[in-house]
Amino acid sequence: MASTIHHRTCNLCEAICGLEIEHDGVQILSIKGDKKDPFSRGHICPKAVALKDIHEDPDRLRQPLKKVDGHWQPIGWNEALDEVAQRLGAVQHAHGHDSVGVYLGNPNVHNTGSMLFSRHLLHALKTRNRFSATSVDQLPHHLIAHKLFGHQLKIPVPDIDHCDYFLVFGANPMASNGSIMTVPDVRHRLKAISERGGKIVVIDPRRSETADLASEHLFIRPGTDALLLAAMIHELYASGKVEAHRLHEATDGLDGLEAQFAPFSPEAVAQATGISALEIRRLVSEFSAAKHAVAYGRMGVSVQPFGTLSQYLIMLFNLLCGRLDETGGLMFTRPAVDTLTVTGPGNFDRSRSRVRQLPAFSGEYPVAALAEEILTPGEGQIRALLTVAGNPVLSTPNGRQLDKAFDQLDFMVCIDFYLNETTRHADIILPPVSPLEREHYDVIFHLLAVRNSTRYADALFEKPEGSYHDWEIFLALADRLAPARNLKQKFNQISRRFLTPKRLLNVLLKRGPYKLSLKQLRAKPHGIDLGPLQPQLPAGLAHRDKRIHLHTDFFLEDLKRLQNLLADSGDSEQMLLIGRRHVRSNNSWLHNSQRLVKGKPRCTAQIHPRDAARMGLNDGQNLRITSRVGSVVIPAEITEQIMPGVVSVPHGWGHQREGVQLRVAQEHAGVSVNDLTDEQSLDALSGNAALNALPVQLSRTSDV
C-alpha cells in the first residue's frame, strides 16, 4: 500500500503537538511535526517518535493476563472481565463498598474515552476510597480554582504570547513542555518574550533548561517560595504598588490583607530563601512596572510542604498587581468543549480518609494515604484495588511501602498495557488498545491552553479485532458490577454504549461556545485557531454571585506555619531533595523506548561541587541518599547548576524490581526517587504530596 499522511495530536504530554504521521496502513514510516498546525506550528519533541515505539513494542500487552501460581497466563476477554467483576463484587459483598480502592493515573487525562466514560465505572464501584495522580501533582490548582473562582477547572494560564515579564516559580517548560499551561513550541514562545524586549525570570533551586534560556535566574532554597511570595506581597503594600483594578471591586476578602503580611518583610525572608532583600524589592518593582506581566508556578511549588499556600500567593500577587484576567497576564480560556460542564465544580473536605483523616477533594483522598488504607486493619480497610493507567509504585511517595501493601491485597486488577512495577502486583491485567488505535480529542488541555484552539483526530489504525478501548473496559466492568435490574437500567446501559466518546464529543462541541461539530473539526485536521485569550471576568466566574471569593481564613491560616519556617531557617547544612524532568522521559512509562533511553544514564543525583568536596565525593561515584523512609544508591553528578545544600534526582526510574517485563527499561533501570519520598510529608492545606524539599542525608558508598 502506498504511504499516507495521518494528522493527529500527540497525547504524551500537555503540549498536545500536532503530528504528521506517514504510514502504509500497517507500519509507521515517519513522525514529524505538523507545520500547518496553527497552534503547535510544526513543533515536536523527541518523545513524539516514541508513539511508534509504544505501538510496536513487543512488551506491550495485547491480551488480558491472569496470574496463576505466580505465573502469567493469557486469557480471553470475557473470562477476564467476568472474573474481575466477580472478585471485586465478592470483596465488596463481604466487606462493603469501600473495601475496593481505585487509583487513576495521569494518562487517563490524555485519553478522550477515559475522560468521558470513567464515571460509569466509578459509579458502579460505589467506593469512597478513590485516589489519583492529582495529589502528587496539581491538587493546589484545583483547590484554589474551586474556592476562588467557583469551579475546580476554572484555572487561569499565563498569556505567554503577550506578556513582557514572565516570572516563573518552580517550572521547567523547556524540559516538561509546559504544565497547567498547554504551550506547544515553548522555546520560540519564550524567545519571543525576549525578542520583544521583555524579560523572563526563573526562581528555582536548579539552573534548569528554562533558567538557561531566561534573562535571569535566582536560586531559591527548596520549600521557601511561600516566604519569598509573602515578602513580595509585603513589599507591594509597603511601596504602594498595589494596582487598582476592575476585579478588586468583584473580590471578597481584600480588606485587611496587608496586616497579614507584616511579619514577612524582604529582610526577614532573605536568609531563609537565599534571595536578598534588594533582589526581592527589584523583582516587585520590575513586575509592577512591566506593561504585561505574569507570575506562574508549577511542580516545584505545587508539590512541596507549602504547595497550596505558594500557589495561592502567586494568584494573590497577580491579582494585587492587576494581572489577573488581563492580556499578557493570567487568563482564562474559552475552549470549544465547555469542560466545566463535563465535571462538577468540585468539593473539599466532604469526607476524610479513615486512618489519617486527610480531606478528600472531589471524592478523592490524597494518594499518600493509599498504602496505610490497605495496611491498617479495621472497618473500611481496602482489600482489593483497581488501577487505571497509573504506576503508583514509582510515582507516589514511599513506593516500597506500596509494594508491601499491594502484596497484601486479596485482589488487584490493573487496566494497563505494560507489566511494570505496579501491575506486576496484579492478579489480572486488562490491556487497552495502543494510543494510535483510538481517536483523540483533548478534553482537558484545550482548557489550559495559552491560545483558544481545537483539534480532533480519528484513530490512525483500526483496533485489532476483539481488543478493547479503555472506555469499553470501563463499561464492560460497570455492566457486570451493577447489572441492570429493570428495563430502564437496561436502556441506560445500552444507550451509554451507543453514545461512544465520538458521539458524546459531537454533542459537547455543538453545545459549546462556538457551536462546532465533529464534522467541522474533521474537515480541519490541522486544528482550528479560535483566537487569543480574552478577558472574561467577572461574568465568566463560576460562582453564582459572580464574585471572587478569596477565602483568606482558609488559605492564610497557613501563614502561621510559614512563620515557623522563618524562625528555624538557620540549618543550611540540611540537604534537601528535589526532582527533575528530562525532555526524553515521561514520568515512569517511556523508558522502554531504546531511542529515548540511549546515551549517558540520566538517573543521577545532581549535587553542587561544594557539597561534593565536603564529602570527598567524585563525579560519577556512587552516593547513598537516605530519608526517613528509605535509601537509594545512585551515581553523583557534580554540577554548579544546582544550589549548594540541594540534591536533585529525577522520578520514574527504578525498573530493577522483580517481575517487571520492560526489557529495554530494565537495562537502564536507575533507582526510584519515590523510595525516598515520604508519605507523611504533605502540603498541610490540601494533602498534596510534598515530593520536593525533602530533608535527606547523603553519604559515600564504595563503588559498586
Cα(685)–Cα(370) distance, integer angstroms:
18
Between the CA atoms of 387, 388, 394 and 395, what dihedral angle is there, to the nearest 10 degrees?
-110
Interface pick for ligand MGD out of 10, 13, 358, 450 (rule CB under 6 A): 13
Binding site partner of 17, from ligand MGD, ligand SF4, Mo ion, none, Cβ cut-off 5-8 A by kind: ligand SF4
Are 409 and 490 contacting, i.e. CB atoms less than 8 angstroms apart?
A: no
Binding ligand MGD (rule: CB under 6 A), the pick from 64, 101, 107, 307 is: 107
Spatial distance between the Cα atoms of 185 and 188, rounded to a whole number of angstroms:
6
Contacted by 527, from Mo ion, ligand SF4, ligand MGD, none: CB < 5 to 8 Å by type:
none
Binder of residue 220, out of ligand MGD, ligand SF4, Mo ion, none (CB less than 5 to 8 A by kind): ligand MGD
184-203 residues in contact with ligand SF4 (CB under 6 A) are 184
Does 137 engage in binding with Mo ion (CB under 5 A)? yes
Q: Check residue 16 for interaction with ligand SF4 (CB under 6 A).
A: yes
**Do 451 and 464 meet the contact criterion of CB atoms below 8 Å apart?**
no
Please, which residue, 29 or 484, has the CB nearer to ligand SF4? Answer: 29
In contact, 194 and 249? CB cutoff 8 Å: no
Residue 324 touches which of Mo ion, ligand SF4, ligand MGD, none (CB < 5 to 8 A by kind)?
none
* Comparison of 39 and 219: residue with beta carbon closer to ligand MGD: 219
Q: Is 399 in the site for ligand MGD (CB under 6 A)?
A: no
Region of 360 (left: φ > 0; alpha: ψ -120 to 50; beta: rest) is beta
Q: Is residue 10 left, alpha or beta, with left meaning phi > 0 and alpha meaning psi from -120 to 50?
A: beta
φ and ψ of 433, to 5 deg: -65, 170
185 binds ligand MGD (CB under 6 A): no
According to the binding rule CB under 6 A, does residue 392 interact with ligand MGD? yes
Q: How many helices and strands, by DSSP H and E, does the chain display?
A: 24, 30
Contacts of 562 (CB under 8 A, 6+ apart): 226, 227, 230, 264, 306, 309
Near ligand MGD by CB under 6 A, which window of 232-240, 293-301, 344-352, 444-452? 293-301
Helix 225-238 × helix 307-320 angle, to 10°: 20
Q: Which is nearer to ligand MGD, 214 or 389 (CB)?
A: 389
The C-alpha atoms of residue 275 and residue 563 are separated, in whole angstroms, by 17
Provide DSSP, 69-124: TTEEEE--HHHHHHHHHHHHHHHHHHH-GGGEEEEE-GGGGG-HHHHHHHHHHHHH
Residue 236 CB, nearest approach to Mo ion (Å) = 31
Does position 12 bind ligand SF4 by CB under 6 A? yes
Interface residue with ligand MGD, options 589, 678, 685, 698 (CB under 6 A): 589
How many residues form the binding site for Mo ion (CB under 5 A)? 1
Query: Please, what is the Cα angle at 317 between 315 and 320, to 5 degrees?
Result: 110
**Residue of the chain from 65, 84, 201, 203 that contacts ligand MGD (CB under 6 A):** 203
Q: Name which of 525, 508, 529 is nearest 457 in CA terms.
A: 525
At its nearest, how many Å lie between Mo ion and the CB of residue 138?
7
Size of the site for ligand MGD (CB under 6 A): 64
525 binds ligand MGD (CB under 6 A): no
Q: Which is nearer to ligand MGD, 490 or 610 (CB)?
A: 610
Given the complex with Mo ion, which of 235 and 421 has the nearer CB atom?
Answer: 421
Closer to ligand MGD at the Cβ: 537 or 596? 596
Given 6, 7, 8, 17, the residue binding ligand SF4 (CB under 6 A): 17
Q: Does 373 bind ligand MGD (CB under 6 A)?
A: no
The distance from CA 136 to its chain's CA centroid, rounded to whole angstroms, is 7
Nearest to 95 by CA among 354, 314, 300: 354
C-beta of residue 487 within 8 angstroms of C-beta of residue 494 = no
* 395 interacts with ligand MGD by CB under 6 A: yes
Residues at the contact surface with ligand SF4, assessed by CB under 6 A = 10, 12-13, 15-17, 44-45, 47-48, 177, 184
- Give contact residues for Mo ion (rule: CB under 5 A): 137
